[in-house]
Amino acid sequence: MSDLGHVLVLAGGLSYEREVSLRSGRRVSEVLRAVGIDVEARDTDASLVPYILADPPDAVFVTLHGGAGEDGAIRSILELLNVPYVGANPDACRVAFDKPTAKAVVRSVGLRTPASVTLPKETFHDLGATAVLGRIVEHLGLPLFVKPARGGSALGASIVRTAEELPAAMVGCFAYGDTALIERYVEGVEVAVSVVDLGNGPIALPAVEIVPDEGVYDYAARYTAGHTEFFAPARLSAKAAAACAETAVTAHTALGLRDISRTDLIVDASDEAHFLEVNVAPGMTETSLLPMAAEAAGQDLGDLCRILLQNAASRFHA
């Protein structure tokens, strides 16, 4: 049982990832109830602020993905309402949520991350798509990976193997955001490393290896059971596993994150780990990677979430 009075789980929101967020919220609520926590799950609508003011929770677990859930906005509101929450503060969220900025930060502390170009939609149109895209291919080479600079769940993301595929990839990307991140595609093993801090500093959980049936870890592969095979722990050499863990913890620390994060990586043929992006509100659904990593580490997900909430409450009162 817990000394927490009652806990609020935030899920839903208005981003493209609303349905995934609702599933994450349900899962977190279920595992917390299983370890004796009094939980209420709520959406981020007009009733939220009056609800919190009338009955402030002991702590909040944010399972909002994309948009306000990860860009620091909702966390800013929680701070205005003077309630503790699990996860990074608003400033750190803003840095981590913007993928080009996060890449610059981790590169500054010596981590590998693929060479890239960041291109706003206005520049793409104003300077002429053909000329700009031609220079990108010439500069970065092929294949490429195109994704929105802000957002998640692989929405608007695609692999580009020929120059002719790049314009369509850009159009698909701009459907989900106003700025595209075009990276040199690194061939290798795709893994995710979750980092948790249960009170003694950030540690990496076992890496989870991702093997999508269709070769691309897109939205359907992420959230449809049976479309992707996972290995937890990942089938990596000891050298590669250590590199992945070190990269994830270093990124978590360099970006000023707190409590929980998930770093997505590619391990190349030389066992080198390449940072792709970091998630400050990792998915918690039945097919999400952090719960798999926790299980591989022998950690009960409900206990993990409970400790994170207790630490958030203790930090607030301290």
Write down the catalytic residue from 12, 15, 16, 17: 17
Write down the catalytic residue from 264, 288, 306, 311: 264
- How many helices (H) and strands (E) the chain has is answered by 12, 13
For CA atoms 210, 216, 218, 224, give the dihedral sign. negative
Catalytic annotation present for 82: no
Pairing of strands 116-120, 144-148: unpaired
In angstroms, rounded to a whole number, what is the distance separating the alpha carbons of residues 223 and 285? 8
Catalytic annotation present for 279: yes
Write down the catalytic residue from 156, 283, 288, 306: 283
Catalytic annotation present for 2: no
CB neighbours of 54 closer than 8 A, spacing ≥ 6?
none
Write down the catalytic residue from 223, 258, 261, 288: 223
Write down the catalytic residue from 69, 75, 277, 306: 277
Write down the catalytic residue from 15, 153, 158, 288: 153
Write down the catalytic residue from 262, 302, 306, 311: 262
CA distances from 66 to 56, 171, 231, 255, 308 (A): 25, 20, 26, 18, 21
Catalytic annotation present for 223: yes
Catalytic annotation present for 51: no
In angstroms, rounded to a whole number, what is the distance separating the alpha carbons of residues 200 and 191? 25
Q: Would you state the torsion angle of the CA atoms of residues 97, 103, 108, 114, taken in this order, to the nearest 10 degrees?
A: 170
Active-site amino acid positions:
17, 153, 223, 262, 264, 277, 279, 283
